[in-house]
Amino acid sequence: MKNLIPSCFILLLLLGAAIQSCSDTKSYAEMLEEEKDAIAQFIEANNIHVISQSEFYANDSTTDASPEANEYVQLASGVYMQIVSDSTSTDTIKANDVILVRFMEYGLIEKDTTLSNLNSPETVDAFRYTVSSSSIAGLFTEGYMLQYYGSAVPAGWLVPLNYIHDKAHVRLIVPSKMGHQTAIQYVYPYFYDIRKYQIYK
């Protein structure tokens, strides 16, 4: 009987710890709310001026990236996009093009840079862009994104391709549903500074 009392006490402690850990788990709705708050905080902290799609189209599908204006368009997908500079090239990105990318990824929940190839001249991220009658997609063929997140290109990275030319510089706020597999799984939004979308020739 004496041995049974300590065993019951330990069992109760373990049960209490298990219940506590369950109560610490966030619901999907709570994670979505946290994501929404993180995006709003990032927009406010960086003095971003959000414009509508109609304003964006009225301005010839451009954004004013000057520090005074700092415009981002919020697209129907939920992605916020700033076209920092579009090249003078007339080359548009087409189906089956291989795109080379220089980028920095910043986690809005972690509030830190999570991945970048900007300081790695020997490393380039590359993906093949595919278009079908019903969808667009991209598959990484090399680089850090492939290594860390798998072959599927975040849907948010593909959104600018309808608006830019070869060697454009774009900034994106990508909600989890438009992100890579980790972003989708953990409901994490990310900011991307994509310094160059370059068509591999």
Low-confidence residues in the chain, pLDDT < 50: 1, 4, 8-9, 18-23
Residues 6+ apart with CB under 8 A from 63: 51, 56, 71, 72, 73, 81, 82, 83
Domain extent at residue 37: 28-199
pLDDT tens-digit readout, 141-175: 999 999 999 999 999 999 999 999 999 999 999 99
The answer to whether position 40 is within a domain reads: yes
Contact 89, 95 (CB under 8 A): no
Question: What is the reported pLDDT for 24?
Answer: 63
The answer to whether position 10 is within a domain reads: no
Please state the φ and ψ torsions of residue 179, each to the nearest 5 degrees. -100, -165
The CATH number of residue 69's host domain is 3.10.50.40
pTM comes to: 0.86
| Number of domains comprising the chain | 1
Spell out a b/e string for 179-188, using b for 16 or more CB atoms within 10 Å of the CB, else e. Answer: bbebbbeebb
